[in-house]
Chains A and B, each alone.
Chain A
Amino acid sequence: MRKGADSKPRGAVGRDLVRVDGVAKATGTAKYPQDLPLPKDCLHLATVRAPLARARIRAVGVAKALAAPGVVRVLTAADVGGTNRFGLVEADQPVLADGVVRGASDVVALVVAESERAAREGARRVVLDLKKEAPLTDPERACEADAPLVHPERRLSGRHRNILAEREIRRGDTARALSRAAVVVSSEYRTGFVEHAFLAPEAGLAERDGEGRLTLYVATQWPEQDLRQAAVALGEPLESLRIVQQTIGGAFGGREDISLQIFLLLAASETGRPVRMVWDRKESIRGHGKRHPFRIRHRLAADSKGRFTAAEIDVLVDAGCYASTSAAVLDNALSQGCGPYVVPALLVSGRTVYTNNPYTCAFRGFGVNQMAFAMEQQVNKVAAELSLDPAVVRRRNFVEPGDRLATGTKVFACEGLPKTLRAAETRARRRKLPAARSDWVYGRGLASASKNVGYGFGLADNATAEVTVTRDGAVVRIGAAEVGQGVETALAQIAAETLAIAPARVRILWQDTSTSPEAGSSSASRQTFMSGNAVLRVCKLARRAVEKKGGIAKLPKGGLSRRFTFHAPRTRPIVARGATQHAYAYAWSTSVADVRVEVATGRVEVERIVTALDAGRVVNPRLLEGQVEGGAVMGQGYALQEQCIVRDGMPVSLGFESCGVPTAVDAAPDIETVVLESAEPLGPFGARGIGEITMIPVVPAITAAIHAATGAWVDEIPATPARVLAALAKLRKSSSAPARRRLRRRH
Chain B
Amino acid sequence: MTLRSQIRVSMKVNGEACELDVPASTTLADSLRAQLSLTGTKVGCDVGECGACTVLADGVPTLGCLVLTVEMDGHEITTIEGVADSRLSGLQRAFVEEAGLQCGFCTPGMILAASRLAADAGDREIRDALAGNICRCTGYTKIVAAIRRGLRDTSHAKRR
Is there an interface contact between A633 and B45, defined as CB atoms closer than 8 Å? no
7 other A-B residue contacts (CB within 8 Å) besides A23-B96, A28-B39, A664-B131: A32-B105, A250-B102, A484-B103, A625-B142, A663-B130, A663-B131, A664-B126
Please, which residues of chain B bring their CB within 8 A of the CB of A623? 99
Partner among A25, A196, A281, A655 whose Cβ is within 8 Å of the Cβ of B101: A25
Interface membership of B97, Cβ < 8 A: yes
- Report the minimum CB–CB distance from B97 to chain A (whole Å): 6
Instruction: Verify A22–B96 contact, CB threshold 8 A.
Output: yes
11 CB contacts below 8 A, A to B, read A24-B104, A25-B104, A27-B80, A28-B39, A28-B40, A247-B103, A252-B136, A629-B138, A630-B136, A634-B136, A656-B45
Q: Kindly state whether residue B70 has any CB partner on chain A within 8 Å.
A: no
Q: Say whether A139 faces chain B, with CB atoms less than 8 Å apart.
A: no
Cα A622 to Cα B101 in complex, Å, equals 11
In whole angstroms, how far apart are the Cα atoms of A26 and B41 in the complex?
11
How long is the Cα–Cα vector from A707 to B153 in the complex, in angstroms?
Answer: 43
Min CB gap A58→B, angstroms: 31
- Chain B interfacial positions (CB closer than 8 Å to A): 1, 33, 37-47, 49-50, 52, 79-81, 83-84, 88, 92-93, 95-99, 101-108, 111, 123-124, 126-128, 130-144
Q: Which of A45-53, A198-206, A295-303 contacts B (4 or more CB under 8 A)?
A: A198-206
Q: How far is the CB of A635 from chain B (nearest CB, A)?
A: 9
Contacts of B43 in A (CB 8 A): 34
Residue A327 is within 8 A (CB to CB) of chain B in the complex: no
Q: Which of B39, B92, B140 has the most CB of A within 10 A?
A: B140
Q: Does A129 contact B (CB under 8 A)?
A: no
Q: Which residues 22-63 of A have a CB within 8 angstroms of B? A: 22-32, 34-35, 37
Give the residue of B42, B96, B138 whose beta carbon is less than 8 angstroms from that of A200. B42
With both beta carbons as reference points, the residue of chain A lying nearest to B46 in the complex is identified as: A280
Closest B residue, CB atoms, query A21: B104
- CB atoms of B127 and A665 under 8 A apart: yes
* B103 touches which of A35, A250, A633, A657 (Cβ 8 Å): A250
Given the known A-B contacts A249-B105, A250-B103, A665-B128, are A31 and B136 also in contact in the complex, defined by CB atoms under 8 Å?
no
Residue A667 at the B interface, CB < 8 A? Answer: yes
Is B97 touching A18 in the complex (CB atoms < 8 A)?
A: yes
Question: With an 8 A cutoff between CB atoms, is A560 at the interface?
Answer: no
Of the residues B41, B45, B106, contact of A655 by C-beta under 8 Å: B45
Contact B101 A19 (CB under 8 A): yes
Main secondary structure of the interface of A (DSSP, over half): loop
Whether B95 contacts A665 by the Cβ 8 Å rule is no
- Whether the pair B136, A197 counts as a contact (CB closer than 8 A) is yes
Q: In the complex, what residues of B have CB within 8 A of residue A280's CB? A: 45-46
Residues of A contacting B44 in the complex (Cβ-Cβ under 8 angstroms): 199-201, 281, 656
Residues of B within 8 A of A35 (CB): 33, 39
Question: In the complex, which residues of chain A have a beta carbon less than 8 angstroms from the beta carbon of B101?
Answer: 19, 22, 25-26
| A485 CB-CB contact with B under 8 Å | yes
Q: Is B135 in contact with A26, judged by CB distance below 8 angstroms?
A: no
The reply to whether the CB of A483 lies closer than 8 angstroms to some CB of chain B is yes
Taking a contact as CB atoms under 8 Å apart, the answer to whether A667 and B45 are in contact is: no
Q: Which residues in A have their C-beta under 8 angstroms from that of B107?
A: 25-26, 28
Task: Evaluate contact between A69 and B1: CB separation under 8 angstroms.
Answer: yes
* CA gap between A250 and B40 in the complex, in Å: 16
8 A-B pairs with the lowest CB-CB distances in the bound complex, closest first: A28-B40, A25-B104, A484-B103, A629-B139, A28-B80, A633-B139, A249-B105, A22-B96
Chain A interface category by residue count: 35 or more
Q: Which chain B positions have C-beta within 8 A of A16?
A: 99
Rounded to whole angstroms, the CA-CA distance of A26 and B143 in the bound complex is: 12
Shortest CB distance B98–A (Å): 8
The answer to whether B92 and A27 have CB atoms under 8 Å apart is: yes
Q: Answer yes or no: A684 CB below 8 A from chain B CBs.
A: no
Give Cα A152–Cα B104 distance, bound, in whole angstroms: 44
Whose C-beta in chain B lies nearest to the C-beta of A201? Answer: B44
Residues of B within 8 A of A655 (CB): 45, 47, 49
| Contacting residue for A671 out of B1, B92, B141, CB 8 A | B141
- The B-contacting residues of A in range 233-261, CB under 8 angstroms, are 247-252
A669 interface hit (Cβ, 8 Å): yes
Encode A646-658 as 1/0 by CB contact (under 8 A) with B: 0000000001110
CB distance from A487 to the nearest CB of B (A): 11
Contact with B along A611-637 (1 / 0, CB 8 A): 000000000001101100111111000
Asked if A633 and B140 make an inter-chain contact with CB atoms under 8 angstroms apart, the answer reads yes
A532-570 vs B: 1/0 string, CB under 8 Å?
000000000000000000000000000000000000000
B79 touches A631 (CB 8 A): no
Q: How far is the CB of A293 from chain B (nearest CB, A)?
A: 21
- A22–B134 alpha-carbon span in the complex (Å): 18
Give the CA-CA distance A249 to B104 in the complex, in Å. 7
Q: Which of B33, B52, B104, B135: most chain A Cβ within 10 A? A: B104
Shortest CB distance B75–A (Å): 20
Q: Which residues of A contact B (CB under 8 A)?
A: 16, 18-19, 21-32, 34-35, 37, 69, 196-201, 247-252, 280-281, 483-486, 622-623, 625-626, 629-634, 655-657, 661, 663-665, 667, 669, 671
* Residue pair A671, B139 in contact (C-beta under 8 Å): yes
Contact present for B95 and A26 (CB under 8 Å): yes
Task: List, in ascending order, chain B residues with CB within 8 A of A24's CB.
Answer: 104
Chain B residues whose CB sits within 8 angstroms of the CB of A22 once the complex forms? 95-97, 99, 101
A661-B33 Cα distance, complex, nearest whole Å = 26
| Chain B residues within an 8 Å CB radius of A656 | 44-45, 49-50, 134
A252 / chain B contacts, CB cutoff of 8 Å:
136
* Residue pair B104, A667 in contact (C-beta under 8 Å): no
| A631 CA / B136 CA spacing, docked (Å) | 9
Min CB gap B124→A, angstroms: 8
Task: Verify A281–B142 contact, CB threshold 8 A.
Answer: no
Q: Which of A18, A486, A661 contacts B102 (CB 8 A)?
A: A486
CB distance B104 to A247 under 8 Å? Answer: yes
**Bound form: Cα–Cα A124–B28 in Å:** 25
A669, B127: Cβ atoms closer than 8 Å: yes
Contact with B88, one of A27, A198, A251, A281 (Cβ below 8 angstroms): A27
B-side contacts of A281, CB under 8 Å: 44-47, 49-50
- A664 and B49 contacting across the interface, CB-CB below 8 Å: no
Q: Is the CB of B138 within 8 A of A630?
A: yes
Q: How far is the CA of A27 from the CA of B96 in the complex (A)?
A: 10
In the assembly, what is the distance between CA of A397 and CA of B126, in Å? 43
- How far is B104's CA from A305's CA once the two chains are assembled, in angstroms? 50
How far does the Cβ of A561 sit from chain B's closest Cβ, in whole Å? Answer: 31
B95 engages A28 (CB within 8 Å)? no
B111 (CB) vs chain A CBs: closest residue: A26
Contact A626 B102 (CB under 8 A): yes
Closest Cβ of chain A: how far from B96's Cβ, in Å?
Answer: 4
- Quick one: which of A18, A198, A661, A667 contacts B139, CB cutoff 8 A? A667
**Contact partners of B141 in chain A: CB under 8 A:** 629, 667, 671
Q: Which residue of A lies closest to B97 (CB)?
A: A18
Residues of chain B with a CB closer than 8 A to A622's CB: 98-99, 142
Q: Please report the C-alpha to C-alpha distance between residue A30 and residue B95 in the assembled complex, in whole angstroms.
A: 15
Q: Is the CB of B140 within 8 A of A199?
A: no
Partner of B108, one of A28, A247, A625: A28
Chain A residue at smallest Cβ distance from B96: A22
Chain B residues in 8 Å Cβ range of A23: 88, 92, 96
Give chain A residues whose Cβ lies under 8 Å from the Cβ of B96: 18-19, 22-23, 25-26
Bound Cα distance from A16 to B99, whole angstroms: 9
- Contact partners of B50 in chain A: CB under 8 A: 199, 281, 656
Closest CB in chain B relative to A554 CB, distance in Å? 37
Residues of A within 8 A of B108 (CB): 26, 28
Complex: how many Å from CA A31 to CA B40? 8
B92 to chain A minimum Cβ distance, whole angstroms, is 4
List chain B residues, Cβ under 8 A from A632: 139
A22 to B104, CA, bound (A): 8
CB neighbours (8 Å) of B88 from chain A are: 23, 26-27
Question: In whole Å, how far is B80's beta carbon from the nearest beta carbon of chain A?
Answer: 4
Residues from chain A with a CB closer than 8 A to the CB of B52 are 199
Q: How far is the CB of A207 from chain B (nearest CB, A)?
A: 18
Say how far B45's CB is from chain A's closest CB, in angstroms: 4
A199 touches B134 (CB 8 A): yes
